[in-house]
Structure 1
Amino acid sequence: MTRPTGDLFTDGGETGRLMARLDWAETPLGPVDGWPQSLRAAVRMVLSSRYPMLLLWGERFTQLYNDAYSALIGDKHPDALGGDVRITLAEGWDVLAPLIVEAMATGVASWVPALQLLLDRAGYREEAYFSVSHAPARDDEGRTVGVLTVCSEVTEQVVGERRLRLLRDLSVGGDGRTVDVESTCVRLAEAIGGHPLDVPFAAIYLRDGALLRRAACVGGEPVAAALPATLSTGQEHGWGLAAAAGGTTTEVAGVERWLTLPAGPWGDPVGTALALPLPSAEAGQPLGVLLVGVSPSRGLDEAYRSFHALLAQQVAVAVRNAQAYEEERRRAETLAELDRVKTGFFTNVSHEFRTPLTLMLGPLADALNDNEHPLPAAQRERVDTAWRNATRLLTLVNSLLTFSSLEAGQAHSQAREVDLAGLTAELSSVFRAAVERAGLRLEVDCPPLPRPVCVDPVNWERIVTNLLSNALKYTFVGRIRVALTADDEEIRLTVADTGIGIAEEDLPRLFERFHRVQGARSRSHEGTGIGLALVRELARLEGGDVRVESRIGTGTTFTVALPWSATGRTAGPVAEVDGIGGAARAAAQEAIGWLADPARAGASAPAGPPVRAYGGEDASRHARILVADDNADMRAYLARLLGEQGWQVQTVGDGRQALEAIRRERPDLVLTDVMMPEVDGFELVRRLRRQADTRTLPVVVLSARAGGDASVEGLDLGADDYVVKPFAAADLIARIRATLHGARSRGDRRDDSTPDARGGTTDAHGGAPGRQDVPAGPPTGDAVATEVPHPAPDGGNVGYAHDEARRPAPGQPAAVDEGWTYPSQPTSAAAMRRDVRASLEGLDVDPDTVADLLLAASEAVNNAVEHAQRPTRPEVRVRLRVADGSVRITVRDFGTWRDRRPAMDRGRGATLMNAYGDVRLMSTAEGTIVTIERRLPPPP
């Protein structure tokens, strides 16, 4: 029994209902009642499927399809029902026709996995892709009268994979190497240009200050002509570039106004573009703009926009990498140029040093060797010290000259055949006295080699000398062994010690120039840091290399290997080696200076005529001074110089020994070098200031580190003074005397602060000279101009003088009246803070008040140093007065201020001072006086 006609479309969903209402009599298929059974069966199959299916029946390819297929043809549905597919898909019929005709003609099914098809289903000519199968459809007699099409859209898959290929091409690009920004942008443009279906045209703009500069372009000459080459970031040009440069992605419509560019699979004109910011590492500051054309065959949906955003990010990453590469390359070129300049400078300076050194060493050697007019013992010691250190300076100059020549590629090996075993043994023996004096054993094992070796004997001397010096510096017990061996392949020099060893993590950098192993115990802190680097460079210059093995606490072994193939460059008799050994002897003599001299430790220098120094009669004439320096010649010189002043001098070789000596017996003053092994000078000051019993021990720091930063660091740590080498003897003595004098004055004031002194009926000092009572009542105006009675010496590198502390008569409130004179230099503010803080110790002054006053006074001293022009006296005077519940600090200079005003400058300094006290400024004919006063809160 035949089912009713209406039942044919019952299971067809929305499309089935539309088909049921359609007047099929108006179509080539005729009324439904007349349809053959085969057509009915095919329709039922199509409508019941959830997969997109299309049935074409008859010569006019009448269309019948299901709900799933209707979604594929967009707004062509429902008009396509019962219509001719050649009309419905007219824009794509040239692609579809061969497949459909073939299936009907041959009766053989076909399948295309990704058929590109032009569709006009959304108001524009769309690029779409389908997986399509065409199978013949037969009537009741078995004749092929139609085609059954089963299809699914794969547009997103095909387009997505294509876009991923573009992003991958951008990330890889070229040969994988990072190059400069310009080349990178060209490469990026080439990669983008290979994907015109997704990016019809593009341009990369990079920020150049306030401008956007076009770095690359995709799309040929028409695009380049339509786009600006440069424009201001604040100037909009119609392409949305300025907005994108500010961080906003901008859609640009109506592109055809400036550019006619066919694009897409079917050559439709581009009508839309996007300007996207190229994100940088700094938020809100794009590094440029990526301008891209939108394909006319793809809708600008969320997926397309997301692709463009990823594209901009990928371009930005590549550009940022290129910029970082360029910056690194510029930095490397700058460093290389600095290296070349430095090398040239060292070469020139080293050559310039040699002439005065020759004129120093010659007369000094003549004086030491003059038997007709022998020097007195004291003068001989001084001349010998000068000669040894001039020789050391020549060795340093030669090392720098050699190293600079190696760096510049100008060093050459003056090779000749030598008895390498004999030369090595001779050079090693030069160090025997120094090694044995250090309590070590020197073992030399250099048996004759089978044949002479062709090397530069000067270079070999430097290699052996540096390795032996290094071994002696870091070995404290045991032995140093020098061995020379050979086999069929190479000659090996081995220098092994039983020293402190080197940590494994430090070994890779051991041969780097200027590298020092931090915190390593050594006999001396002296050295340039190029010794081992020089060994490696010289070994390579001779055709070999150097390696090292070491373990902490066990020792270190250096091995220099020279291949026979690199040392057989000449033939002939073995040359006599003349003039060799001077560098080794100088290095050995320097090494002896690292060793402690027990005979000198704790001894006072012989009395002699004192060096004239500023300060007058020294009340601390018999003070004990501890000298800490790792250079033996410097220790001997300071002991002699200070001993001539009548001071008792004890010398030690480093900060650790200084701490031990201070624990045994406290000196009156410590004079310490900064750069010493184990415990350096700064660490010594730090440890002394942490201990209550040494917190007030006077310390004067000696250093070759010139400059304000170094001296401020020392003074802020608590040093009493900072003296830069080279120094004048009179200057050093004046500074030590002033420091001792100031320490004694502070000690006197602390004695006055005891209960007996404050509550008794007599002056604790019995009316000591230089001390006077402070009258009761507030300070008068005249007190502002009260001067410190000690004039500072002329010249720049001076210390400060210190006025006596004053106390009131018994029964009066505690008071202070002290003054100091400082050199007009930036470090004086730190020295002033230390002195004023020490003077306020023991008084009942709130620590916060002290800190406020010190900040204000520091600003006043800094102003005096910076603003006082053409001073008649190169000094700054500071007075501290505490009386009747107030603290007053006056700061006086002796110059003309650059900006003299009735009131203080309203900048940060004046604001800071006014915040911490009542500030007044007084101009005088001689200079400017700043007064800072602060009332103290009443005692509880």
Structure 2
Amino acid sequence: MRAADDALDAALEAGGEAGRLVRAFDWSGTSLGPMAGWSPLLRGMVAMCVLSPFPMDIGWGPDLILVHNDAAGRMLAAMHPAPLGQPKQVVLAELWDTAGPLHRAVLERGEPAWRENARYVLSRRGFPEERYLTFSHSPIMGEEGVVGVLTVMSETTRSVVVERRLRTLSALGNGSAAGGAVGAAVGVGAGRTFGAALDILEANRFDIPFALVYLVESGGRRARLAGGTGLRPGRPLAPEHAGLRSRRPWPLGRAIAQARTVVVSLGPVALAGAGDWADGLAPAAALVVPLRDRSTGEPAGAAVLGVNPALPLDDAQRGFLELVARQLALVIGDARADEAERERADLLADPAGPPAAQRRRVESRARDAERRRVARELHDSVLQTLYGIALGAESIRSLVRTDVERVPPVAEYVVNLARSALKEMRALILELRPETLEQDGLVASLRGLAAPMASRHGVRVALDLGQEPAASLEVKEALFRIAQEALHNVARHARAAEVRLALAAETEEVVVLRVEDDGVGFDAEAEFAGHLGQKTMRERAELVGGTLVVASTPGRGTAVTARVPAAP
């Protein structure tokens, strides 16, 4: 017994704040009794617990009297001011409806339990706050059977919330890339893409309790509600029209004029019965985020996004909601730009027009399309990766103070994200300015263009590029841009597993480029996603004296074939 006493004394001495508390606590008032009368098993378990750097606690006896280490104490203190020596039912009163049956199963039947990323809402910092825990409950076996419950736990709130937000941003990016038009309220067509974006927001009611999108009407004096989610129709907070000079219900004009996010506090009366809130918690605030048309740079409107009431409104939550608003702006800008391009094509579709003017129109249209594409790629890849880097850095800053042993894997995650962002930026720079075209030739440039397809879009690329064609730089640039647009259409619309990129000299005078995918295909006689890009590709081929043919059948993929003279 003396050896057990010495071992426990040494453990309490080395056990930090928890060791000091265990030594000073008056255990005679609990079912454990004075420490001098503890069994060797209890002494050994307490020694193991206080020395562990991992969050761990012991519930001993039928009333599960609590002993914890420093790491677990920091987590439990948010639920009870002095958890040590209390029955676990008292400490975990908020959770006992779910935690109680698990503990009883271990204590009464010896059934261990394990849960991963279990969600709880706890009053920790003066407001109900969502928390995620991964934990195990294991029986502590004595001579008479189960005498206690050993709990090992880890809080996973940060990683779960980050992954949830990134899933929403990724889905918004993929949804906007799927093609279609914004709804009639936006003023440009049918409503597939905008409706899909709102459906994605609706699916994450934790982080986006409600969303409203207002777009400025002609004249610039008021905004019209283009769509929303989370708030019941007809509520005062979601009027069909809102004046830009008024601050009620939302300061839309202020956010748009100042080009900055405005935080609006919300009282319980304003949102009473207005929506079906997660956990019954109405948002206490909303962000009014200005939307800028990415195709023109002009103000388009504002998004009103409810704040998750179960998390603090910190930089991470604010940054996430502002990224959501930027993605909505991309959807709106894409649709408006496509509509404007249709109108320009109708007005300028005079085949007898001067060749120089025709060339300028094609080049202008192509530049607009490339700017929109790069803006979308920056948001969908680089911006989201930088967001992940920022969150990872925040995690490291926290872990350095609390659990330094967990820093290396998080740091490796941040390094990998940074490398991914660098790779994406290099790919985007190549798309914008293919200097290698003149320096290294068309074959090398096409290889560089195809490289990101697998990493960025998950599409395998089979290359059959042959030798460098004996063509002028003007022809090579036209073929490069045609390949760029064709691969972009594959990534956005085809849902393909593989694409084949081939380049060959059909004769000494003719160069052939072919891009063929195994995707869903389309009806070439109907309007389809990507048809404006195909118009640009065809015009590029024609400007250097060539032709472009697109062959596709629903369910059987698409083939784009450009034949151009080596010298225009």
- Which category describes the TM-score, using the shorter chain as reference length? 0.5 to 0.7
Structure-2 residue corresponding to 1:58: 61
Checking the alignment, whether the CA contact within 8 Å between 2:232 and 2:275 is kept in structure 1 is: no
Structure 2 residue 231 is matched with structure 1 residue 233: no
Checking the alignment, whether the CA contact within 8 Å between 1:180 and 1:326 is kept in structure 2 is: no
1:163 aligned to which of 157, 165, 169: 165
Structure-2 residue corresponding to 1:607: none
Structure-2 residue corresponding to 1:274: 287
Structure-2 residue corresponding to 1:290: 303
Secondary structure of the equivalent of 1:236? coil
Superposed displacement of residue 54, structure 1: 1.2
1:199 aligned to which of 205, 208, 229: 208
2:179 aligned to which of 177, 180, 185: 177
Letter of the structure 1 residue corresponding to residue 228 of structure 2 = C
Superposed displacement of residue 283, structure 1: 10
Superposed displacement of residue 90, structure 1: 1.5
Q: In 2 relative to 1, CA 226–517 (structure 1 residues): closer, same or farther, beyond 3 Å?
A: closer
Structure-2 residue corresponding to 1:254: 266
Letter of the structure 1 residue corresponding to residue 27 of structure 2 = W
Structure 2 residue 190 is matched with structure 1 residue 190: no
Structure 2 residue 114 is matched with structure 1 residue 111: yes
Superposed displacement of residue 551, structure 1: 8.0
C-alpha separation in 1, matches of 2:71 and 2:240:
50
For residues 300-345 of structure 1, what are the alpha-carbon distances to aligned partners after superposition, in whole Å with 9 as ceiling and x for unaligned? 2222122112211211112211111111122233345x789xxxxx
Letter of the structure 2 residue corresponding to residue 228 of structure 1 = P
Q: In 2 relative to 1, CA 262–55 (structure 1 residues): closer, same or farther, beyond 3 Å?
A: farther
Q: In 2 relative to 1, CA 284–25 (structure 1 residues): closer, same or farther, beyond 3 Å?
A: farther
Checking the alignment, whether the CA contact within 8 Å between 2:264 and 2:285 is kept in structure 1 is: yes
C-alpha separation in 2, matches of 1:108 and 1:63:
19
Structure-2 residue corresponding to 1:329: 342
Letter of the structure 1 residue corresponding to residue 64 of structure 2 = F
1:86 aligned to which of 79, 86, 89: 89
280-289 or 13-22, which deviates more: 280-289
Superposed displacement of residue 286, structure 1: 3.5
1:127 aligned to which of 126, 130, 150: 130
For residues 617-676 of structure 1, what are the alpha-carbon distances to aligned partners after superposition, in whole Å with 9 as ceiling and x for unaligned? xxxxxxxxxxxxxxxxxxxxxxxxxxxxxxxxxxxxxxxxxxxxxxxxxxxxxxxxxxxx
For residues 235-287 of structure 1, what are the alpha-carbon distances to aligned partners after superposition, in whole Å with 9 as ceiling and x for unaligned? 22243323322312111112434222466542122222111122444998542
Superposed displacement of residue 69, structure 1: 0.9
Structure-2 residue corresponding to 1:665: none
Superposed displacement of residue 147, structure 1: 0.5
Checking the alignment, whether the CA contact within 8 Å between 1:240 and 1:251 is kept in structure 2 is: no
Q: In 2 relative to 1, CA 205–188 (structure 1 residues): closer, same or farther, beyond 3 Å?
A: same
Superposed displacement of residue 121, structure 1: 1.8
Checking the alignment, whether the CA contact within 8 Å between 1:262 and 1:270 is kept in structure 2 is: no
C-alpha separation in 2, matches of 1:147 and 1:120:
25
Checking the alignment, whether the CA contact within 8 Å between 2:244 and 2:251 is kept in structure 1 is: no
Secondary structure of the equivalent of 1:150? strand
2:74 aligned to which of 58, 62, 71: 71
Secondary structure of the equivalent of 2:75? coil
Secondary structure of the equivalent of 2:59? strand
Structure 2 residue 103 is matched with structure 1 residue 100: yes
Checking the alignment, whether the CA contact within 8 Å between 2:133 and 2:155 is kept in structure 1 is: yes
Letter of the structure 2 residue corresponding to residue 164 of structure 1 = L
Superposed displacement of residue 27, structure 1: 2.6
Q: In 2 relative to 1, CA 551–62 (structure 1 residues): closer, same or farther, beyond 3 Å?
A: closer
Secondary structure of the equivalent of 2:271? coil
C-alpha separation in 2, matches of 1:129 and 1:30:
34
1 or 2 for the larger relative contact order (CA 8 Å, sep ≥6)?
2
Structure-1 residue corresponding to 2:141: 138
Letter of the structure 1 residue corresponding to residue 281 of structure 2 = D
**CA RMSD, aligned part only?**
3.8
Checking the alignment, whether the CA contact within 8 Å between 1:201 and 1:223 is kept in structure 2 is: no
Structure-1 residue corresponding to 2:225: 214
Secondary structure of the equivalent of 2:178? coil
For residues 150-205 of structure 1, what are the alpha-carbon distances to aligned partners after superposition, in whole Å with 9 as ceiling and x for unaligned? 01011122222221221122112289123245423332212211111111111011
C-alpha separation in 1, matches of 2:304 and 2:74:
34
Letter of the structure 2 residue corresponding to residue 253 of structure 1 = S
Structure-2 residue corresponding to 1:316: 329
Give the TM-score normalised by structure 1: 0.35
Give the TM-score normalised by structure 2: 0.57
Secondary structure of the equivalent of 1:197? coil
C-alpha separation in 1, matches of 2:165 and 2:157:
12
C-alpha separation in 1, matches of 2:564 and 2:232:
65
1:304 aligned to which of 298, 317, 330: 317
Q: Identify unmatched segments of 5+ residues in structure 2.
A: 353-506, 515-535, 548-561
C-alpha separation in 2, matches of 1:26 and 1:240:
59
- Percent of aligned positions that are identical: 33
Secondary structure of the equivalent of 2:151? strand
Q: In 2 relative to 1, CA 79–251 (structure 1 residues): closer, same or farther, beyond 3 Å?
A: same
Secondary structure of the equivalent of 1:41? helix
C-alpha separation in 2, matches of 1:166 and 1:69:
32
Checking the alignment, whether the CA contact within 8 Å between 2:80 and 2:91 is kept in structure 1 is: no
Letter of the structure 2 residue corresponding to residue 166 of structure 1 = T
Q: Residues 773-852 of structure 1 correspond to what in structure 2 (within 5 A)?
A: none
Superposed displacement of residue 122, structure 1: 1.8
Checking the alignment, whether the CA contact within 8 Å between 2:64 and 2:87 is kept in structure 1 is: yes
Letter of the structure 1 residue corresponding to residue 151 of structure 2 = T
C-alpha separation in 1, matches of 2:158 and 2:287:
21
Superposed displacement of residue 131, structure 1: 1.0
Checking the alignment, whether the CA contact within 8 Å between 1:46 and 1:53 is kept in structure 2 is: yes
Letter of the structure 2 residue corresponding to residue 114 of structure 1 = N
Q: In 2 relative to 1, CA 286–70 (structure 1 residues): closer, same or farther, beyond 3 Å?
A: farther
Structure-1 residue corresponding to 2:389: none
Aligned residue pairs: how many? Answer: 364
Q: In 2 relative to 1, CA 213–58 (structure 1 residues): closer, same or farther, beyond 3 Å?
A: same
Q: Residues 532-543 of structure 1 correspond to what in structure 2 (within 5 A)?
A: none
Structure-1 residue corresponding to 2:156: 154
C-alpha separation in 1, matches of 2:252 and 2:59:
51
For residues 756-814 of structure 1, what are the alpha-carbon distances to aligned partners after superposition, in whole Å with 9 as ceiling and x for unaligned? xxxxxxxxxxxxxxxxxxxxxxxxxxxxxxxxxxxxxxxxxxxxxxxxxxxxxxxxxxx
Letter of the structure 1 residue corresponding to residue 113 of structure 2 = S
C-alpha separation in 2, matches of 1:36 and 1:329:
83
C-alpha separation in 2, matches of 1:316 and 1:322:
10
Checking the alignment, whether the CA contact within 8 Å between 1:167 and 1:311 is kept in structure 2 is: yes
Superposed displacement of residue 294, structure 1: 1.5
Larger CA Rg, structure 1 vs 2: 1
